[in-house]
Amino acid sequence: MTTPIEGPSTPDIRSSADAASQTIDCRLKEERRFTPPSAFAERARVGLREEYEKLYRESLDDPEAFWRRETADLVFRKPWKTTLEWKLPHAAWFVGAELNITESCLDRHLAGPRKNKAAIIWEAETGEVVTLTYAQLHREVCALARGLRWLGVGAGDRVAIYMGMHPFAAVAMLACARVGAIHTVVFGGFAPEALRDRIADCRAKVVITQDAAWRRGKLIPLKRMVDDALASPAAASVDAVVVLRRLDATASLPQDFEPVTMMPERDHDWSDLCTKAKGETDEAAIVPSEHPLFILYTSGSTGQPKGVLHSSAGYLAGVHVTSKYVFDLREEDIYWCTADVGWVTGHSYIVYGPLSCGATCLMYEGAPNHPDWGRFWSIVERHGVTILYTAPTAIRAFMRAGREWPDRHDLSTLRLLGSVGEPINPEAWMWYRDAVGGNRCPVVDTWWQTETGSIMLVTLPGAVDAKPGSTGLPFFGVEPAIVDSNGMPVADNAGGLLVIKRPWPSMIRTVWGDDTRFHKQYFLEVGGVYVTGDGARRDSDGYYWVVGRVDDVLNVAGHRIGTAEIESALVSHPSVVEAAAVGRPDELKGQALVVFVTLRHGIETGPALASELAEHVGHCLGKFARPDTVRFADALPKTRSGKIMRRLLKDIAAGRASTGDLSTLEDLTVLSQLRDLQEGEG
Ligand code: PRX
């Protein structure tokens, strides 16, 4: 890919903070408040606001006592000596501890009644259901751990996982963790080029994949996509590929599906590998607390995606304690997080968090509307799901599809509804509570990020009143603040930047291979505190209302997309000279992706080229990143120093008048041309 066009090297947080305070949306007027349903609160782990306050205070005043007690059921082969060593920007938590996270997620459950309890219930898009008990999951993880050792994978080696929503994706992650390898799961919706870039960045030694996955009635040929990625010399670090046979050899497959081809020496059939590796040990590699557990690539405001690195003990503590309290997990729950394992929500709240609590997790392979909009509700009914954790974009899509879909099913088993990934608008919140939860279940909005590893802001379901559209109060150990761009606290109800003032166990440890970027991006903007990149306000009850990103990161249908990546993909097309990507408010997706492009001299604009460019972005990054609108322009609005003024483009994309300062705009005529263009298209 060519280098991205020039953009601000760091988010322009001064104007962004102002923008955040201006953007405070209709939620400002939201005054509804819902007390925890009493039937829920009576049985909840934390059933009173005062109990929440007490635990919260303890978590800040005496973190040692808090974390020792709250992690007492986890397996540490050696206890920690020091709770936190903090040398900005590097935190080391639970120093001196030794562990292997899989012993907390698997081995510890085998000694008691959880041994034969379902750990994962998987429903394929095609309807097949597979259940893995804790004992079976442990067996599969051990088998693949031996396989990885047979391939020469050891502590610290990187392994890329490129799979669909299959329980063996969780097996792959846990097997890596078992041998101390660092996994990097690449969302199966990413294009081969994006997979290749991630493999190249962390120099992965092995790729674990599957023949294909079902999505909306079509087969995604994941193994073939791995072959494409590995054809590039940039991915030369990979010397082995492990292939899960997800497809039933006897099933009738679409005619256009090409059978998987295996490259001798490099490619290994998953089950053959496990058979070959029987002589290897499956002992868990015991690692120090800060040993890296995984890298997860996520979009930033500049350049290529960054590899967010998480550690072992701190991450485990964070996801364990949040799973326990936020979802109020009980032994009999059937817990369903609808995220994909390729995103952080899947890591923390499908795999590590719930399994560390011994929960039963449901996993679903396919699309929410396959074969129709009743699929989710049919899953809830058939499996007796008690806790549902999904994203506002899905809720809005269900709202649009109509209430008759949930109404056709018995959803009475549900007792808690969670939301994550983007701001939830009060209408969607209310619909979720009513149409899905029968006005019986607490709705729990959870704010967090790939970098935070676990939930940071939340209304604890049994203890704290919920306000539709607010992400509530800080979780234990989290000290947030709303500040202006100089780091000064702002008054209640005034918008500003959301920062976190002290380290927390599951925080990002560094950006893989770029510690300077890590330091600069997260800690240098506002005097040594962690800058989230989100704008928010806190109301006079202490509730946080997250507005959205204040940097050049978009949130399209819950997918985090960097404008720089989109622009970089566009300018790699031979017809494009320059490109700028911005978000436009969208009722369904939260934000829609609008791109402005200028073309090489003599190239004709038109709908055919617009769809070719959208297709090209999909090809480079993955279909989910395809622009919704492509606009052609003669020039893009720039400052005198040559930076594209995205703020103006955002206004134009949203069809609103620009209110900001135009004094730095180099050529005012560009703006009016772009406006004309919009009207012309409109
Ligand atoms: O802008 C915030 C938004 O999603 C961003 C983090 O994206 P990602 O790292 O992909 O992780 C998503 C899943 C945790 C945040 O910076 N975001 C996430 N949850 C919420 C949210 N915005 C508002 N409300 C939320 N509950």
Q: Which residues of the chain have pLDDT under 70?
A: 1-26, 28, 658-661, 677-682
pLDDT at residue 25, as a whole number = 55
Cα(667)–Cα(599) distance, rounded to whole angstroms? 19
Would you call 628 exposed, middle or buried from its count of C-beta atoms within 10 A (0-12, 13-18, 19+)? Answer: middle
Question: Left if phi > 0, otherwise alpha if psi is -120 to 50, otherwise beta: which for 577?
Answer: alpha
Question: Left if phi > 0, otherwise alpha if psi is -120 to 50, otherwise beta: which for 384?
Answer: left
Nearest CA owner, ligand 1 atom 23: 423
Would you say 485 and 13 are in contact if contact means Cβ atoms under 8 Å apart?
yes
Angle at 13 (CA atoms; ends 29, 532), nearest 5 degrees: 75
- 3-state DSSP assignment of residue 510: strand
Angle at 305 (CA atoms; ends 301, 311), nearest 5 degrees: 110
Choose the residue to mutate in 25, 432, 447, 553 for probing ligand 1, maximizing ligand atoms within 8 Å of C-beta: 447
Closest listed residue to residue 565, CA positions, set 106, 3, 133: 3
In angstroms, what is the span from residue 476 Cα to ligand 1's centroid? Answer: 19
Cα(151)–Cα(135) distance, rounded to whole angstroms? 25
Give per-residue burial for 298-308: e unless 16+ CB within 10 Å, then b.
Answer: bbbbbbbbbbb
Angle at 164 (CA atoms; ends 181, 115), nearest 5 degrees: 65
Residue 557 near ligand 1, beta carbon < 6 Å: no
pLDDT at residue 23, as a whole number = 46
Ligand 1: nearest atom to the Cα of 450: 9
pLDDT at residue 659, as a whole number = 61
Type of residue numbered 242: V
The residue whose two tokens read 């590039």 is 232
Closest listed residue to residue 621, CA positions, set 659, 658, 663, 572: 572
Nearest CA owner, ligand 1 atom 3: 422
In angstroms, what is the span from residue 296 Cα to ligand 1's centroid? Answer: 15
Cα(426)–Cα(469) distance, rounded to whole angstroms? 5
C-alpha distances out from residue 80 to 87, 104, 309, 390, 579, Å = 18, 16, 21, 35, 51
Ligand 1: nearest atom to the Cα of 532: 16
pLDDT at residue 4, as a whole number = 31
In angstroms, what is the span from residue 470 Cα to ligand 1's centroid? Answer: 13
Residue 425 near ligand 1, beta carbon < 6 Å: no
Would you say 450 and 308 are in contact if contact means Cβ atoms under 8 Å apart?
yes
Q: How many residues belong to the chain?
A: 682
Residue 548 near ligand 1, beta carbon < 6 Å: yes
Residue 560 near ligand 1, beta carbon < 6 Å: yes
Residue 534 near ligand 1, beta carbon < 6 Å: yes
In angstroms, what is the span from residue 114 Cα to ligand 1's centroid? Answer: 33
pLDDT at residue 660, as a whole number = 66
Nearest CA owner, ligand 1 atom 19: 421
Nearest CA owner, ligand 1 atom 6: 449
In angstroms, what is the span from residue 643 Cα to ligand 1's centroid? Answer: 27
Please report, in angstroms and rounded to a whole number, the separation of the first and last CA atoms in the chain: 33
pLDDT at residue 672, as a whole number = 74
